[in-house]
Amino acid sequence: MEVSRHWRLRQQRYALVGEVCPHCQVKIFPPRDICPDCGQEARTAYQFNGRGEVFSFTTVLDPPAGHEENAPYTVALIRLEEGPMVTAQLTDLGEQPVEIGMPVEMVTRKLREDGERGMLVYGYKFRPLLTPA
Amino acid sequence: MREVAILGAGLVPVEEHWERSLVDLAGEAVRLALEDSGLERVDSLILSNMLAAATGVAQLNLGAQVADWCGLRGIEAFKVEAACGSGGSAFRAGLIAVGSGHVDLALVVGVEKMSQTTGPATTAGLATAADADYEAAHGPSFVALNALIMRRYQHEYGWQHADFAPFSINAHANAARNPFARLRHPITEKEYARARMICDPINLLDSSPIGDGAAAVVLAPASQFRGEGRRPRVIVAGSGAATDSIAIHDRRQPTWLTAAERSSRQAYAQAGLGPEQIDFFELHDAFSIMAALSLEACGFAERGQGPRWGLEGFILPTGRLPISTHGGLKARGHPVGATGVYQVAEVARQLWGEAGPNQVPRAGIGMAQNIGGSGATILTHILRAG
C-alpha cells in the first residue's frame, strides 16, 4: 500500500518543492538536504516553476507491474528551467511528435492506481508548453 | 594486501531452468568450482544475487542457505547486493577477504532465478535498480532508462541505430560457440534492424535476455599456488570500484559512465598498466549502448566514438580488443546478480587457455567490468596470467 511513502512525497509530487543551496545558490530537486554541488547543508525550500525542456525520451511498450493500464506511455528526462533534471511521463501529447529540446510544463496527473480498492497515486507529468493563441 | 589468484571456476548454462531452484543452481556452481580447484572446503562463501528479495523467490539469508545446501554448513557465508553489479561486488569482497589475510580460501558464487515470475513482475523487479521514488514511480522500465541514455547519445554524437549492430552481432556469434550461453544463434544486420521495438531506440536485439544461472570462482593467496599444475596461474592484478548517482537525472553527464572511468583508472593504476595493454575485455553489454559507453569511459575509444570500435571490427575475436568473447550479457545471457561472476570466470578461462572455441589468440591480460543500475555501481577487474 505504501501510504506513508506517497504522503511523504506529496510536496514534491504535487508542487515540485525542492531546495536551494544557501552557500552556492544551486537549485536542488529532489530535496536531499545536502548540496550535490558543494556538499554543504542545504535545507531552504524552493518551489520550481514547472517549466523545462525535453532532454531525452522513450516510449514504454512493456511496462513494469502496476503501470500496465497506461501503456504505451512516453517517459522523458526533463531539464527544468532552474537547472535540475527530473524523470517523468509526458502527457497531453495529441498528435504532436516529441523532440529533444521541446518546451514542456508540469501538470498533475494520476501516476497509477493499485487495483479497484487501492490508492490512486497522483504526481507530476509534463505536457507541451501551452502558448497563448 | 597479498596477491590473490583464481584457483578454479564453475559455470551453469544460462537458461530458463524451470525445474531447478535458486539454491540448486548455486549449489551446482559451487560444486563445480570446488572440483575445478581440487578442494573440498573453503573458509568463506560470498554469494551475489539481486532479485531474490524483490521478486517471487522471496528468500533472503541466501549465504547460509546455499552453504548448508552445498555441504559447507558452519563456514562464514553472506550475500552481497549491488543490483546487476552484485557479482563484481561479491568478487571484490572475496578479493579483499583473501588479500587482507582474514580468509585463506574464499568462494564467490553468483546466482539468479528470473524465470520464477511473469514478465511484468520481473520488469518491476529489475526497475528496483533505479531510484524508487523519483525514477521507478514514474513508470520507466529498466530498458526505458537505457533508452533515455541511448537516444540522448545518438542526439549528441549523430550515430544511427544501425551503427550499434556490430556489438550485438559479435556477441551472438561468440555465444553460438559457447555451451554455457543462453542465445546460441548468430544474428544478421537485417535481423538486428527489424527486431521488435522494446523502448525506442532500443529493440529486442539491443537487449540482453533474462535467464536463470549461477557461476562460481575460488580465490586463494597467490603465493601458495605457483602454477606448476595443469594450468597457468591467474592473478587478480587490479580491482576498482566506484559509484555515480543512482538516478540518471542526477548525473552531470548522463551519456558518460563516470563510475566506469573511476573504477577502471583504479584498476589500471593497481595493475601498473593502461588500456593499450588489455588483450580482451568482458564488458557489461546489457544494452548495446552500454558497450559503447564502457569502451569510452575505460579509455579505449574516444568520447562519443564507441560505436566506431564495432564498425571497424576492433571488438571481434581476432580484433584489437575482443569483447564479449563468450557472448557477453547480450547473448551468453544476463542472470543479473550472477553476471559479474560469469564475466570473471570467462576472463579466467581465456587466461588458462581453456575457452575452447571461444579462445582468443592473445590472452595474457583480460579485464571484466560489471555495472549495477544504469551506471550507479561499477566494478572493474584486471586479471593476468603469471
Domain ranges of chain B: 4-118+211-224, 138-207+234-385
Q: Is B250 on the interface with A (CB under 8 A)?
A: yes
Contact B50, B84 (CB under 8 A): yes
Give yes or no for a cis peptide into B317 (omega within 30° of 0).
no
Q: How far is B133 from chain A (nearest CA, A)?
A: 8
Q: Is B270 on the interface with A (CB under 8 A)?
A: no
Distance between CA A57 and CA B210 in Å, rounded? Answer: 24
Name the residue facing B198 among A9, A62, A68 (closest C-beta).
A62
Distance between CA B356 and CA A30 in Å, rounded? Answer: 51
Residues on chain A touching B126 (C-beta within 8 angstroms)? 64
What mean pLDDT do residues B233-241 have? 97
Flag the least confident range among A28-37, B121-130, B170-179, B294-303: B121-130
**Whether the model pTM is above 0.90:** yes
What mean pLDDT do residues A48-68 have? 95
Inter-chain touch A61–B247, beta carbons under 8 Å: no
Distance between CA B296 and CA B293 in Å, rounded? Answer: 5
Question: How buried is B268 (Cβ within 10 angstroms: 0-12 exposed, 13-18 middle, 19+ buried)?
Answer: buried
Q: How far is B165 from chain A (nearest CA, A)?
A: 20
Residues on chain B touching A9 (C-beta within 8 angstroms)? 133
The neighbour count for residue A36, using CB atoms within 10 Å, is 14
What mean pLDDT do residues A48-56 have? 98
Name the residue facing B141 among A56, A57, A63 (closest C-beta).
A63
Name the residue facing B137 among A70, A85, A111 (closest C-beta).
A111
Q: Per-residue b/e over B41-80, b at no fewer than 16 CB within 10 Å?
A: ebbbbbbbbbbbebbbbeeeebbbbbbebbebeebbbebb
Question: How buried is B299 (Cβ within 10 angstroms: 0-12 exposed, 13-18 middle, 19+ buried)?
Answer: middle
Residues of B assigned a catalytic role = 84, 334
Query: How do A27-28 and A73-80 pair as beta strands?
Result: unpaired
A vs B, Cβ pairs < 8 A, gives 102
- The residue in chain B having the minimum alpha-carbon distance to the alpha carbon of residue A55 is B152
Alpha helices in chain A (DSSP H): 3-8, 10-15
What mean pLDDT do residues B198-213 have? 97
Residue B108 has what pLDDT? 98
Query: How do B213-221 and B4-11 pair as beta strands?
Result: antiparallel
Residues in chain B: 386
Give B44-90 pLDDT, tens digit per residue.
999 999 999 887 788 999 999 999 999 999 999 999 999 999 999 99
- The interface predicted TM-score (ipTM) is 0.96
Give B116-172 pLDDT, tens digit per residue.
888 888 988 999 999 999 999 999 999 999 999 999 999 999 999 999 999 999 999
Flag the least confident range among A118-122, B229-233, B316-320, B358-362: B229-233
In angstroms, the Cα distances linking B80 to B46, B103, B110, B144 are 7, 17, 9, 26
- Residues 6 or more apart in contact with residue B196 via CB below 8 angstroms: B203, B204
Q: Pick from B348, B249, B386: which is nearest to B9 by CA?
A: B348
Q: Is B156 on the interface with A (CB under 8 A)?
A: no
What mean pLDDT do residues B323-338 have? 98
Q: How far is A30 from chain B (nearest CA, A)?
A: 8
3-state secondary structure of B222: helix
Identical fold for domains B4-118+211-224 and B138-207+234-385, yes or no, is yes
Q: How far apart are the first and last CA of chain A?
A: 43
Q: Is B376 on the interface with A (CB under 8 A)?
A: no
**B138-207+234-385 maps to which CATH number?**
3.40.47.10
Q: Is B253 on the interface with A (CB under 8 A)?
A: no
- In order of their start, the domains of chain A are 3-127 (2.40.50.840)
- Going by pLDDT thresholds of 50, 70 and 90, the confidence category of residue B228 is low
Q: Is B135 on the interface with A (CB under 8 A)?
A: yes
Residue B230 has what pLDDT? 78
Inter-chain touch B197–A61, beta carbons under 8 Å: yes
Question: How buried is B96 (Cβ within 10 angstroms: 0-12 exposed, 13-18 middle, 19+ buried)?
Answer: middle
Inter-chain touch B139–A85, beta carbons under 8 Å: no
Residue B16 has what pLDDT? 97
Residue A96 has what pLDDT? 87
What mean pLDDT do residues A57-78 have? 94
Inter-chain touch B119–A62, beta carbons under 8 Å: yes
Backbone angles phi, psi at B262, to 5 degrees: -65, -50
CA angle (B374, B378, B383) in 5-degree steps: 140
Inter-chain touch B144–A57, beta carbons under 8 Å: no
DSSP B85: T
DSSP A131: -
Q: How far is B181 from chain A (nearest CA, A)?
A: 25
Which CATH superfamily includes the segment(s) B4-118+211-224?
Thiolase/Chalcone synthase (3.40.47.10)
**Nine-digit cell at B289?**
549502448
Give B350-385 pLDDT, tens digit per residue.
999 999 999 999 999 999 999 999 999 999 999 999
